[in-house]
Structure 1
Amino acid sequence: MRLHRNLVFATIDALSDIFNEGNYADKVIEKTLKRDKRWGSRDRSFIAETVYEIVRWKRLYTEIAEVKAPYSRENLFRVFAVWATLRGVTLPDWKQIEPTPSRKIKGKFDELSRIRKYRESVPDWMDELGVKELGEKVWEKEIHALNEQAPVVLRVNTLNTTRDNLRSVLNDEGIKAEPVKGYPYALQLEERSNVFRTEAFKKGFFEVQDANSQLVAEFLDVKPGMRVVDTCAGAGGKTLHIAALMENKGQIIATDIYENKLKELKRRAKRAHAHNIDPRSIESTKVIKKLYGTADRVLIDAPCSGLGVLSRNPDAKWKLQPEFIEKIKITQAEILNTYSRIVKDGGKLVYATCSILPSENQGQVEKFLASEHGKDFKLIKDKKLLSSESGYDGFYMAILQKN
């Protein structure tokens, strides 16, 4: 592989934005890729994949490069040299890149790879928490799986097409995708590509959604004609799936505290031809109180640590703090207590997170069922999905019924 100066410089700039300015990797990459219209798909994928890879292995690479924050450009070039050496990429003779001691780099890599927190490139506190909550063996497998690049999975929008037809339409556009066994609405791309430019996307034939994430709406057990409340709807990935499962019949009230996310949901719903969604911004407690006792189904896709989705958000390893996890657990409990009151007698509630920590998952459900708010509910079943077992995002979901 021959390295091009402008692509490497763009990579270094993006890393500086992420490591020094604390900006989100996906947003930085999106902005960086707009820098030069002449870049082809290969150039763009070099930048995106190299940045993500260096972010993913930040602790290991910076340790090998012997650099610490804040990261000067000189230091970021040293980290880049570590990436290139370990990937077998020949470094050019540029003044920014000092002569690289490749034997020393490889020797240090072998030495640090014996220690999990370096080998899997995680902060000390996260490694300790993973062991405490999941046990040494499970955490070892799980953090290894979460360091793999996430596959691109599509969810067919059955309001507009079928899975077989979507596969055929994509194939005509030069994109090969295979059905995923055990996931009736999922197609996985054989090679990464920009599916948002396809005609199939513009026609609302699919959404990009992880295979395990697709199981949440199914778990909710909805039927056409029901009244469903999606309480933390965000931009509506799961809301749109619920609409398809309900065949556009009945009502889905999609609530969120962020109005801009609901605006995005409206755009997506229009493209998907999902007509039974009623987005409502939570501006005060009145919005939720009005819904008490009215819903056949309630989905609480709770805010969480996001530890189950590190493969697609590797920078979360460096942004997350233990204090945040403690705070979010308080929020989760409050949301469960409040939003559970929306369920009518005989109705069902799904509590879901994209976390792998039992304290955010079954721990919260047990606490809720033992409380005054949860005394009328019983657990029907729950599901723990680990990346190391499925190859997709880590998820938890529990379905509770109100007596």
Structure 2
Amino acid sequence: MRLHRNLCFSVIDGLTLIFNEGHYADKVIQQLLKRDKRWGARDRAFVAETTYDIVRWKRLYAEIAEVKEPFDRDNLWRMFAVWATLKGIKLPDWKYFEETPTRKIKGRFDDLSKIRKFKESIPDWIDELGAKELGDKVWSKEMEALNEQADVILRVNTLKTNKEKLQEELFDLGFETEILPDYPHALKLKERANVFTTDAFSNGFFEVQDASSQLVAEFLNVQPGMRVVDACAGAGGKTLHIASLMENKGQIIALDIYENKLHELKRRAKRNSAHNIETRAIDSTKVIKKLYDKADRVLIDAPCSGLGVLRRNPDAKWKLQPDFIEKIKTTQQDILQQYSKLVKVGGQLVYATCSILPSENQEQINTFLKSEAGKSFTLLKDKKVLSHQSGFDGFYMALLERKE
């Protein structure tokens, strides 16, 4: 591979914003890709994937390069040189790469790869927390899996098409996909590609949604004609899946504290032809109280640490702080206590997170079931999805039923 100066400069500019100014990696990369209209698909892929790679391996590369935060541009070029050397890319004769110690880089990599917090490039506290909650052996396997690049998974919108038809249409457009046997509405792209520019996407035939995330709506046991509340709907990835499972029959009430996310959900619902979704911003407790004892199904896709989705959000491990984990666990229990009141007798509730920590998952359910609000609920089943076992994002989901 030959390195091109303008592409490398874009990566360095992006890393400056992500590491030194706290910008989110996905937003930075979106902006970088708009820099030069002359860039082709390979150029854009280089900028995106290289930026994500260096973000993912920040701690390891900084340690090898012997640089510390905040990183100035010379530091970032040294980290870039580490990335290129470990990828086997010949460094061009640029001033940024003068006296790059290629042999030393490889030796340092070999030495540091024996220590998990460097090998998997994670903060000490996350390494300690993961090992404590999952055990050393499982945590090592899980972190290795969470550092792999995520596949692009599509969820077929069955309100408009089916898996076979979509697969044929995408093939005709030059996108090869494969069916995932245990995921009824999923297609996996054989090669990473920008599918958002296709007519199939603009016509609402599919959404991009990880395979593990697709399990959540299925877990909710919805039927056409039900009243369903998605209590933390956000921009509505799971809401739209629920609408397709309900065949547009019945009512879905999508709640969120952020009105701008619900606006995005409305836009996506229109594209998906999902007509049974009503959005309600939670601007007071009245919004929740009006729904007490009214829902056949309630989905609580709870805010969480996001440790199960580090493959697609590698910068999250550098932004997370220990006190956030403690605060979010309090929030999770509060949400369970409040939104469980929406379930009618005989109705069911799913609590889900994209975390792999038992303290955010099974332990939250156990605490809830022992509480006054949880006494009328029974745990029917739960599912723990780990990346090193599934090949997809880490997730947890629990199905509870409200008894008399």
TM-score range, shorter chain: over 0.9
How much has 1:97 moved relative to structure 2?
Answer: 2.3
Aligned partners of 1:359, 1:118: CA distance in 2, in Å? 25
2:202 paired residue number: 202
1:222 paired residue number: 222
1:115 paired residue number: 115
Aligned partners of 2:219, 2:98: CA distance in 1, in Å? 55
Aligned partners of 1:69, 1:220: CA distance in 2, in Å? 45
SS at match of 1:59: helix
Once the two structures are superposed, the pairs formed by residues 371-386 of structure 1 within 5 Å of their partners are 371-386=371-386
Aligned partners of 2:84, 2:211: CA distance in 1, in Å? 32
Residues paired across the two proteins, number: 403
Aligned partners of 1:319, 1:163: CA distance in 2, in Å? 38
Structure 1 residue 359 corresponds to structure 2 residue 359: yes
1:62 paired residue number: 62
1:315 paired residue number: 315
1:279 paired residue number: 279
Aligned partners of 2:271, 2:117: CA distance in 1, in Å? 44
Aligned partners of 2:351, 2:209: CA distance in 1, in Å? 19
Q: Deviations over 1:95-149 (max 9, x none)?
A: 2222211000000000000000000000000000001000011101100100000
SS at match of 1:20: helix
**Amino acid across the alignment from 2:143:** I
Aligned partners of 1:357, 1:123: CA distance in 2, in Å? 16
Once the two structures are superposed, the pairs formed by residues 134-213 of structure 1 within 5 Å of their partners are 134-213=134-213
Structure 1 residue 231 corresponds to structure 2 residue 231: yes
Question: Is residue 78–residue 96 contact of structure 2 (8 Å, CA) maintained in 1?
Answer: no
How much has 1:233 moved relative to structure 2?
Answer: 0.1
Q: Deviations over 1:36-91 (max 9, x none)?
A: 11111100000000000000000000000000011100110000000000000011
Aligned partners of 1:49, 1:181: CA distance in 2, in Å? 28
Q: Deviations over 1:188-219 (max 9, x none)?
A: 00001100001110110000000010000000
Aligned partners of 1:326, 1:260: CA distance in 2, in Å? 27
Identity over aligned pairs, percent: 72
TM (norm. structure 2) is: 0.99
Aligned partners of 1:99, 1:228: CA distance in 2, in Å? 63
1:402 paired residue number: 402
Q: Deviations over 1:211-244 (max 9, x none)?
A: 0100000000000000000000000000000000
Aligned partners of 1:137, 1:96: CA distance in 2, in Å? 40
1:37 paired residue number: 37
**Amino acid across the alignment from 2:252:** I
Aligned partners of 1:95, 1:151: CA distance in 2, in Å? 36
Structure 1 residue 13 corresponds to structure 2 residue 19: no
Compute the RMSD of aligned alpha carbons.
Answer: 0.5
**Amino acid across the alignment from 2:199:** E
**Amino acid across the alignment from 2:315:** D
TM (norm. structure 1) is: 1.00
Aligned partners of 1:296, 1:236: CA distance in 2, in Å? 19
1:393 paired residue number: 393
Structure 1 unaligned residues grouped into runs of 5+: none
Question: Is residue 254–residue 278 contact of structure 2 (8 Å, CA) maintained in 1?
Answer: yes
